[in-house]
Amino acid sequence: MTDTAPAKRLYIKTYGCQMNVYDSERMADVLRPLGYGVTDDPEWADLVVLNTCHIREKATEKVYSELGQIKLMKSRKAAGGGTMTIAVAGCVAQAEGEEIMRRQPAVDLVVGPQAYHQLPELIARAHRSTGERLSADFAADDKFDALPRDRHVTGVTAFLTVQEGCDKFCTFCVVPYTRGGEWSRPADDVVAEARVLAAKGVREVTLLGQNVNAYDGCEGGLADLARQLAKIDGIDRIRYTTSHPRDMDEALIAAHGEVPELMPFLHLPVQSGSDRILKAMNRAHTAESYVRLIEKIRAARPDIALSGDFIVGFPGERDSDFEATLNLVREVGYASAFSFKYSRRPGTPASAMPGQVATQVMDERLQRLNALLQEQQEAFNRSVVGRTEPVLIEKLGRNPGQIGGRSPWLQPVHIEGPERLIGQIVPVRLDGATRNSLSGSLVLETV
Ligand code: 5AD
Ligand code: SF4
């Protein structure tokens, strides 16, 4: 995101999940009325926000090393008579609080995910105060009510947060501690925001939540919300992420078969294929119940593509458990996936479990799992070659004369075509596939 000719320059660096991408956009929204425009160069920024992620340990350490770099920029700016305010937001802010300022005194303020609407006030206070630094009060008040509805829209797709937090307490995960309990935004608010987005040219919304399918901001849950959003003129595509298998209820499965706007792509993390490990993870599903769930979803929407998250090297994971994960992957067949080495997060139950797995073993398992998942992703991409499918054109391509969009299955598609098609859903013949994307050509009538 880059704005032109701002009075003050705001640099936001986003780590982690799509929820954070969305939050960063909203922070830019609340700061815009104060004269902040977004820059992608931190060196001369007046305000630097690191929107952090805490889910794996490396991410936290990356934040501290980035802060070291930014501190140098702040010093260089101060030497030239300028100022730079440094803010840390997101889950590291939530988890570490004041500790961040102790470890890196150049930080001016720390603000947790529930308090972004307070950013203007916090920044004003940071400017006024000399010497004294502040941190946010992490009270979970109504963040969304206080944020402007009138969002700054930069493209034809947009994220829309509908749910936050998690009560599932998977034993490896910090989210229930950093983002708090499950909370859903009232459906009327979501629909109102989606209307604003549609009026600004957005054609596709991705509903976000740590446990988005646990959404209960209206009586009929996420299925009902999707049906309401599908009725809005201009909203032609609806996606949602991330879901938990245990909240994938009959109504939502049925909606996949009945609401054409719901795209045939579902991110449904399983984490492991071993029941012993799933139990230790407190996932509340077995490998078999997950596979049966996938079968049901496929019965409702036969062309649905699956995506998942996997952890290798959870404490106590034996070779046979890992083999069970590979078998589950082979049985389900994924169109895309994320796989992670288990990361020991202090305070979570798994961090104290016996049988922590050696890094080398994790590395080997991750490599094998990735090889299989990549093979599946490539095979999935190849499977659509030769077909003509609707592609939402999102942006100009990398080379002149190229445009880029997404298939219904979230595959990036590169096409030769005119800029004026941006924002349209056009039939595209899919000609070629690589592991990560497709190439296609416009079907003649649309040119
Ligand atoms: N170690 C490794 N991966 C983790 N995830 C969450 N916590 C951890 C952890 N401690 C992964 C899960 C989750 C995704 C967002 O991040 O797979 O689905
Ligand atoms: Fe973390 Fe599990 Fe909640 Fe997902 S469902 S956010 S992995 S605790």
Residues of the chain with CATH 3.40.50.12160: 8-139
**428 CA distance to ligand 2 middle (Å):** 37
Judge whether 417 and 403 are in contact, CB under 8 Å: yes
Residues of the chain with CATH 2.40.50.140: 388-446
Contacts of 47 (CB under 8 A, 6+ apart): 8, 9, 10, 11, 31, 36, 84, 85, 86, 87, 123
What is the predicted pLDDT for the residue at 140?
42
**248 CA distance to ligand 1 middle (Å):** 20
**364 CA distance to ligand 1 middle (Å):** 18
Contacts of 353 (CB under 8 A, 6+ apart): 171, 280, 315, 316
Judge whether 363 and 341 are in contact, CB under 8 Å: yes
Contacts of 113 (CB under 8 A, 6+ apart): 23, 89, 90, 91, 93, 94, 143, 164, 178, 179
The domain 8-139 is placed in CATH, from the list 3.40.50.12160, 3.40.50.2000, 3.40.630.30, 3.30.499.10, at 3.40.50.12160
Kindly report whether the global pTM for this prediction surpasses the value 0.75: yes
d(CA 371, CA 410) in angstroms, rounded, equals: 21
What is the predicted pLDDT for the residue at 253?
98
Read off the DSSP letter of residue 264.
S
Q: 31: which 2 tokens?
A: 């700061």
SS (H, E, C) 206-222: EEECCCHHHCCCCCCHH
d(CA 387, CA 393) in angstroms, rounded, equals: 17
Handedness of CA 277, 283, 288, 291 (dihedral sign): negative
Q: Does domain 388-446 have CATH number 3.40.50.720?
A: no
Q: Which ligand is nearest to the CA of 338?
A: 1
Cβ atoms within 10 Å, residue 399: 8
C-alpha distances in Å from residue 82, one per residue of 104, 130, 276: 20, 15, 58
Q: Decide: 311 in ligand 1 pocket, CB within 6 A.
A: yes
Q: Which ligand is nearest to the CA of 244?
A: 2
What is the predicted pLDDT for the residue at 209?
93
Which residues, judged by CB distance below 6 Å to any ligand atom, belong to the binding site of ligand 2? 166, 168-170, 173, 175-176, 210-211, 244
What is the predicted pLDDT for the residue at 150?
65
Q: List average pLDDT for each run of 10 residues in the chain, which is 447 residues long.
A: 64 90 88 86 92 84 92 92 92 86 92 82 70 41 54 86 91 86 93 95 95 96 98 98 96 98 98 98 97 98 97 98 98 96 90 95 98 98 98 93 97 96 97 96 75
d(CA 277, CA 271) in angstroms, rounded, equals: 9
Strand ordering across the sheet containing 47-52: 36-38, 8-14, 47-52, 85-90, 109-111, 134-135
Best residue among 15, 20, 172, 370 to mutate for probing ligand 1's pocket (most ligand atoms within 8 Å of CB) is: 172
